[in-house]
């Protein structure tokens, strides 16, 4: 997409120069020359406005709504091990599809521990009966009239079922993480907005722009995603974030209900305390730790511990590791001085500059620790 912008830019400029030159040669009359120049300037402006309008939020909303209208059914999916941002974004997109009477389903993977509380709330509502389906069910039902909207990731390695993307007639990507390698076929359908705090904020904006009706529980799912990704509005929280939060509260979101979603089990609280106790300061305010919880929700404890370590005075970034079933999970958090996404990218991870993660298979956790220290050293050398 960026290459097309550059080619069009220089092609337009070259055409404008030729136009002015020919006008000057053929007509020495200064008035005609000025008129030709003005016409050329207008043409260039029109071309550039039409090209760069594709980058605007309004264009994104119109484009996605138009695609939704032209397909019979829509599948909404996030990344593996759903978090509040991916889940909330899918819920918001479901509300958008409902506005246009489109049949939509949300595809959830097996591991939804992080969002189980709010997921159970939706299951208790008759409005969402048969909305949630598995990847296997979606794979059987997908056809040439199916649109797939992928939320909160554009990295295929963390998509729950890539086969669904390959089978779909069209795939749209909505994400707020920094752009990385992506293999979605049509670049025009990839909307990556790193200037947003979360994918939930992007989707909430689309709902607002389209004047779509959303229910209170849907608004709470979206607000929960924003709360998590902004760390309770402590990071990446400008005026637009608070305006979006106000919009969601106006549509019924209750902050007290959201707070209750984040209550932890005693095991996670113990694991979090253990991670703080095992922490080791490394360099430039970067702290490492290990989370020793031996259960399926260990990665949830890992992320929570990373957030907790950031509250320690002198800590600029935290990197926490945990291991479960031959997979090492890494959660990294930072303020605004260290780009943890750049660090974790070096070990195959990704995310946002203040919140990133990685999953490393079949590698000893101590080896991952060394890999991460090397990644930190490389990053610090690059930003000197």
Residue 22, H or E segment: helix 2-26
Question: Measured between alpha carbons, how far is 377 from 384 in angstroms, rounded to an integer?
Answer: 11
Question: Measured between alpha carbons, how far is 143 from 170 in angstroms, rounded to an integer?
Answer: 11
As a whole-number percent, the residues of the chain with pLDDT over 70 amount to 84
Q: What pLDDT is attached to residue 3?
A: 42
Question: Measured between alpha carbons, how far is 87 from 131 in angstroms, rounded to an integer?
Answer: 13
Contact (Cβ atoms closer than 8 angstroms) between residue 72 and residue 145: yes
Q: Which among 124, 118, 125, 122 has a CA at the least distance from the CA of 260?
A: 118
Could you report the per-residue pLDDT of 1-39, keeping only the tens digit for each? Answer: 444 444 455 555 566 566 656 665 555 666 666 666 666
Q: Residue ranges per domain, the chain?
A: 2-55, 57-261, 266-382
Task: List C-alpha distances in Å: 94 to 62, 140, 175, 303.
Answer: 16, 20, 16, 27
Give the number of other CB atoms < 10 A from CB of residue 39: 14
DSSP 8-state assignment for residue 79 = B
Could you report the per-residue pLDDT of 53-105, keeping only the tens digit for each? Answer: 445 888 999 999 999 999 999 999 999 889 999 999 999 999 999 999 999 99
Give the number of other CB atoms < 10 A from CB of residue 302: 28
Q: Is the dihedral of CA 194, 195, 198, 199 positive or negative?
A: negative
Q: Band of the pLDDT at 294, cuts 50, 70, 90?
A: confident
Listed in sequence order, the residues at least 6 apart from 230 whose beta carbon sits closer than 8 Å to its beta carbon are 197, 198, 236, 237, 241
Residue 167 structure tokens? 């089978």
Q: Does domain 57-261 correspond to CATH entry 3.30.360.10?
A: no
Alpha helix locations (H) across the chain?
Answer: 2-26, 30-52, 57-69, 84-99, 116-123, 135-141, 162-167, 199-209, 216-229, 239-250, 255-261, 266-277, 298-309, 340-345, 365-382
Task: List C-alpha distances in Å: 176 to 161, 272, 316.
Answer: 21, 27, 22
Could you report the per-residue pLDDT of 324-364, keeping only the tens digit for each? Answer: 888 899 999 998 789 999 999 999 888 888 888 898 988 99
Could you report the per-residue pLDDT of 150-192, keeping only the tens digit for each? Answer: 999 988 878 888 899 989 989 999 999 877 766 666 667 899 9
Quick one: angle between helices 216-229 and 199-209, nearest 10?
Answer: 140
Rounded average pLDDT over 275-283: 90
Contact (Cβ atoms closer than 8 angstroms) between residue 350 and residue 356: yes
5 CB-side CA count, 13 A:
12
**CATH architecture assigned to 266-382:** Roll (3.10)
Say which residue, 294 or 373, is predicted with more confidence: 373
**To the nearest whole number, what is the mean pLDDT of the chain?**
86
Question: Measured between alpha carbons, how far is 285 from 262 in angstroms, rounded to an integer?
Answer: 27
């Amino acid at each position: 997409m960026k290459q097309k912008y550059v080619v069009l830019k220089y092609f337009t400029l070259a055409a404008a120069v030729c136009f002015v030159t020919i006008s000057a040669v053929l007509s020495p009359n200064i008035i005609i020359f000025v008129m030709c120049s003005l016409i050329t300037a207008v043409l260039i402006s029109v071309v550039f406005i039409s090209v760069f309008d594709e980058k605007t939020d309004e264009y994104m909303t119109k484009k996605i709504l138009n695609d939704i209208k032209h397909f019979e059914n829509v599948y909404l999916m996030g990344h593996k091990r759903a978090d509040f941002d991916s889940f909330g974004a899918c819920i918001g997109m479901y509300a958008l599809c409902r506005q246009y009477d489109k049949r939509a389903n949300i595809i959830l993977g097996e591991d939804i521990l992080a969002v189980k509380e709010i997921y159970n709330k939706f299951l208790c509502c008759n409005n969402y009966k048969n909305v949630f389906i598995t990847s296997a069910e979606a794979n059987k039902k997908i056809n040439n009239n199916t649109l797939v909207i992928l939320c909160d990731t554009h990295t295929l390695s963390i998509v729950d079922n890539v086969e669904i993307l390959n089978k779909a007639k069209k795939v749209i990507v909505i994400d707020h993480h920094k752009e990385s390698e992506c293999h979605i076929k049509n670049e025009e359908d990839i909307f990556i907005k790193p200037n947003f705090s979360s994918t939930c904020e992007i989707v909430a904006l689309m709902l607002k722009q389209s004047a779509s009706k959303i229910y209170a529980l849907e608004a709470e799912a979206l607000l929960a995603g924003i709360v998590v990704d902004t760390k309770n509005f402590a990071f990446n929280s400008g005026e637009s974030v608070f305006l979006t939060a106000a919009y969601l509260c106006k549509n019924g979101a209750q902050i007290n209900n959201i707070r209750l979603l984040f209550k932890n089990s005693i095991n996670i609280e113990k694991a979090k305390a253990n991670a703080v106790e095992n922490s080791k300061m490394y360099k430039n305010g970067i702290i490492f730790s290990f989370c020793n919880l031996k259960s399926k929700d260990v990665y949830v404890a890992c992320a929570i511990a990373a957030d907790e370590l950031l509250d320690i005075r002198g800590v600029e970034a935290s990197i926490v590791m945990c291991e479960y079933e031959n997979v090492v999970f890494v959660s990294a958090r930072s303020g605004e001085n260290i780009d943890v996404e750049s660090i974790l990218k070096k070990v195959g991870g990704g995310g946002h500059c203040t919140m990133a993660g990685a999953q490393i298979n079949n590698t000893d956790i101590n080896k991952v620790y060394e890999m991460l220290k090397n990644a930190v050293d490389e990053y610090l050398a690059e930003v000197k």
